[in-house]
């Protein structure tokens, strides 16, 4: 296929994920304006970061008055999984220039990774960059549009109605499908337990402690399983 056909194929393959992506952006936008972001800041946050889980975590700790260093660290910890995605997809982008690899990295999220790697492994002749740009165009566009809608409607939502409860629900929706073996189960259980115990930790550092504890527990569980 031509580059244009591969781009269109990427858009087409990613369309089924857009209905789930738009509401995620909506919540991120509405939550941001409710904690004090301006409309432009809320949309710019999604456009520049493009990481729903890390944005919601950052908004959560920011609303509790945590310093910017803690907010940034929280976002980094939540996004640590992208280092594994980067290592897995890097061989497919080896022939791209450094500039294009940096651009591609900006759009690496769970859905773009899963769709692209599946296609790359299925068909070696697929143009890596054209297909990637097609996949990311639909997913990124849907997320930013969802954020803009959330910002627009967030101002109209009564002050008494808060989006705080949606944040843990969204994290649960992201978490459950990833529990596929004993190690991930242990990581989820330990991380969840520590998060509950550490609710009162100053500056909402409990999120970071819980994330690190969960990862450590998962690694130990995996090492134990391999050893036995």
pLDDT at 46 over 90: yes
pLDDT at 149 over 60: yes
pLDDT at 20 over 80: no
C-alpha closest to that of 81 among 126, 114, 58: 114
Q: Please report, for residues 8, 16, 58, the alpha-carbon distance to residue 167 in angstroms, rounded to integers and kept in the order given.
A: 33, 23, 11
104-109, long-range: CB < 8 A, 24+ apart: 104/129, 104/132, 106/50, 107/50, 107/132, 107/136, 107/139, 107/140, 108/82, 109/50, 109/51, 109/52, 109/82, 109/139
For the stretch 201-220, pLDDT in tens is 665 566 667 777 877 887 78
For the stretch 157-178, pLDDT in tens is 655 555 555 555 555 555 555 6
Mean pLDDT of the chain: 82
Query: For 26-40, what is the mean pLDDT?
Result: 88
- The DSSP symbol for 134 reads H
pLDDT at 91 over 70: yes
CB 117 within 8 A of CB 126: no
Query: For 2-9, what is the mean pLDDT?
Result: 92
pLDDT given at position 204? 57
Q: How far apart are CA 33 and CA 42, in angstroms?
A: 7
Which of the four pLDDT bands, split at 50, 70 and 90, describes residue 126?
very high
pLDDT at 43 over 90: yes
pLDDT given at position 90? 92
* 180-219 residues labelled b (16+ CB within 10 A) or e (exposed): eeebbebbbebbbebbeebeeeebbebbbbbbebbbebbe
Quickly count: other Cβ atoms within 10 Å of residue 160's Cβ. 5
């Amino acid at each position: 296929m031509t580059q244009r056909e591969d781009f269109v194929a990427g858009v087409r393959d990613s369309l089924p994920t857009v209905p789930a992506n738009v509401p995620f952006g909506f919540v991120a936008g509405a939550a941001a304006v409710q904690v004090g972001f301006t409309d432009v800041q809320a949309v710019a946050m999604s456009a520049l970061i493009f990481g729903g889980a890390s944005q919601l975590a950052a908004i959560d700790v920011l609303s509790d008055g945590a310093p910017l260093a803690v907010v940034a660290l929280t976002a980094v910890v939540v996004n640590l999984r992208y280092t594994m995605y980067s290592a897995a997809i890097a061989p497919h982008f080896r022939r791209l220039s450094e500039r294009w690899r940096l651009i591609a990295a900006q759009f690496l999220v769970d859905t773009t990774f899963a769709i692209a790697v599946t296609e790359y492994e299925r068909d070696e002749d697929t143009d890596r960059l054209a297909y990637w740009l097609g996949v990311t165009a639909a997913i990124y566009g849907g997320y930013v549009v969802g954020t803009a809608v959330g910002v627009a409607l967030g101002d109209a939502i009564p002050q008494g109605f808060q989006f705080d409860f949606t944040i843990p629900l969204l994290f649960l929706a992201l978490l459950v499908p990833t529990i596929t073996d004993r190690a991930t189960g242990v990581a989820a259980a330990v991380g969840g337990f520590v998060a509950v115990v550490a609710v009162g930790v100053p500056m909402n550092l409990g999120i970071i402690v819980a994330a690190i504890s969960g990862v450590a527990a998962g690694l130990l569980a995996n090492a134990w399983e391999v050893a036995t």
